Amino acid sequence: MQVTFDLPDEVVTQLQLFEDKLPQILELGLRELNAITPSGFSGMAEVLEFLASLPTPEAIITLRPSESLQAQISTLLEKNRTAGLTTAEEQQWQGYQYLEHIVRIAKARAFLKLKEAHAQ
């Protein structure tokens, strides 16, 4: 597939250094854009960034979805009950389920750390 873009000269200069990696750059850029776009996985990015900050066990245990993430999940649940999900929404739902799995693992490990700390 061939695509043509009109880009500012400064961007063209930067991209020339990575000409052989343009497909990767576009893929990574799209992934990042989807992570920060409200219709994408913005709530997931928030949770993953929180976990990547290496919070205390107490902070992990008290972790709850943001209002926007909870709203996205509720919308998908309601749509699944009434009209059914599109392929894209099904993928988004699967992503949320995986995120919940990761958070449960983090919380279980946090509880174990606290239990070990209190036992000493």
Q: What residue ranges do the domains of the chain occupy?
A: 1-36, 42-119
Regions of the chain where pLDDT drops below 70: 33-42
Tell me phi and psi for residue 6, to 5 degrees: -105, 115
Q: What is the pTM of this model?
A: 0.63
Query: Which tens digit of pLDDT belongs to each residue from 75-105?
Result: 999 999 999 999 888 888 988 999 999 999 9
Phi-psi region of 54 (alpha: psi -120 to 50; beta: other; left: phi over 0): left
pLDDT at site 40: 52
